[in-house]
Amino acid sequence: MKGEYDVIVVGAGPGGSLAAKTAAENKLDVLLIEKRQEIGDPVRCAEGVGKLGLMEFVDPDPMWISAEVNSARIFSPDGTMIELSEKMAGNEVGYVLERKIFDRALAKMAARAGAEVQVKTQATGLIIEDGQVCGITGKQRGENFTAKAKVVVAADGVESRIGRWAGINTTLKLKDIETCAQFLMTDIDIAPTSCDFYLNSKYAPGGYVWVFPKGNREANVGMGMLASQYSGKHPIQYLKDFIEWRFPEGKILETVVGAVPVSGMLPKLSTGGLVLVGDAGHVSDPITGGGIINAMSSGRIAGDVIARCILDDDVSAKSLSSYDAEVRIELGKSLDKNYKIKEVITKVSDNTINVAAHSLKGVNFENVTVPRLVKEIVTRNPTLLKELVGLI
């Protein structure tokens, strides 16, 4: 490892690898570090992505796709099913990835573009001079090191500490954290081409249970609940209760716990010499918690903006704030809108979900927006207007 780079990217998830790849393609001298010894492992993700979203960044490789899905089925608490086509649920369904391979493939793309990649290498602090971030302190296999950089990219995920080290307020309210538990299960009866979502406060208060197929009788079965709804029962226990009801014969191959920010993006994504991408910048979707594509999107924007700023020899807070502006243009509108929707739907009762699901039977969902869907429900059930009015 050298003592100086143009860019140091901390974290080799989808956000960090895209930032490193893009910066390297812009002929910058890039270091990508990852604290774990294997990129992509362990997986803390249900691995679902939309096809079009993914194809905006990479050509899908069958090596890292474990299932192709063409519909999403939503089950209300009383078991009423609504089926959405891929076109309607396109952001959430399409592929179920194999992230152990996918994340590594993205890091490989960064390396092939010219980035240096170092695993088992952890950032432990920032070097800040005259209020400007200009490098990191770190640990590699027990040895301390320092490395300077014109810009540091914080792509260190939901538990990011780098923004805070630089004085950016990254605190999440409990109501804006989705805490999750997931089992990789085998030997279960699933719909192999559908991503299934269960809305039921018994199994996922303020959230949902997902069953994302991974091929032959195998699936990621997980649940996410708002941390604000925690009442002493652990997410793993909620999930076990769901499994006992739905897949009592299934076998568990892997257990995962994790969290996703569902706050909408941070008001400030950069400062002098530093930008935050992906979950570190809270750009994951507030309704679904999906964050892979948005992490890649913010990573790519970061790589391009940093290259321009370095070319102009200006990596000040003002100059790098064009990163915030570009991410806001790309993602801000949908994150803001989905945050508002989340604030309403996480409070909707099981009974209302049942009533709404019954009234949606037979509706053609092609090209239906959420407000139009809600209008349809309210027209058929005027008593629900008060509870759902925030969605229109």
111 binds ligand FAD (CB under 6 A): no
Q: Which listed residue (7, 8, 9, 33) binds ligand FAD by CB under 6 A?
A: 33
213 binds ligand FAD (CB under 6 A): no
Are the beta carbons of 21 and 115 closer than 8 angstroms? yes
Q: Which listed residue (82, 93, 107, 180) binds ligand FAD by CB under 6 A?
A: 180
**Size, binding site for ligand FAD by CB under 6 A:** 38
* Alpha-helix runs per DSSP H in 264-391: 292-311, 317-327, 333-345, 350-359, 370-380, 385-388
Other CB atoms within 10 A of residue 77 CB: 18
Q: Which listed residue (16, 163, 207, 272) binds ligand FAD by CB under 6 A?
A: 16
Residues 260-279 that bind ligand FAD (CB under 6 A): 260, 278-279
User: Of the ranges 75-83, 254-262, 268-276, 304-312, which one interacts with ligand FAD (CB under 6 A)?
Assistant: 254-262
226 binds ligand FAD (CB under 6 A): no
Q: Which listed residue (24, 46, 168, 384) binds ligand FAD by CB under 6 A?
A: 46
User: What's 4-51 look like in SS3?
Assistant: EEEEEEECCCHHHHHHHHHHHHCCCCEEEEECCCCCCCCCCCCCEEEH
Tokens 């909707």 identify what position?
A: 348
334 binds ligand FAD (CB under 6 A): no
Looking at beta carbons only, is 119 or 325 nearer to ligand FAD?
119
Q: Which listed residue (77, 94, 258, 272) binds ligand FAD by CB under 6 A?
A: 258
Shortest distance, position 362 Cβ to ligand FAD, whole Å: 29
Please give the order of strands across the beta sheet that includes 177-186. Answer: 81-85, 71-75, 194-198, 208-213, 218-226, 177-186, 251-261
286 binds ligand FAD (CB under 6 A): no
Are the beta carbons of 103 and 157 closer than 8 angstroms? no
Instruction: Identify which of 260, 311, 354 has the alpha carbon closest to the alpha carbon of residue 151.
Output: 311
Burial class (CB in 10 A: 0-12, 13-18, 19+), 37: exposed
Which three-class secondary structure state does DSSP give residue 357? Answer: helix
110 binds ligand FAD (CB under 6 A): no
Site residues, ligand FAD (CB under 6 A): 10-16, 33-36, 44-49, 122-123, 155-157, 180, 182, 222, 256, 258-260, 278-280, 284, 289-292, 295
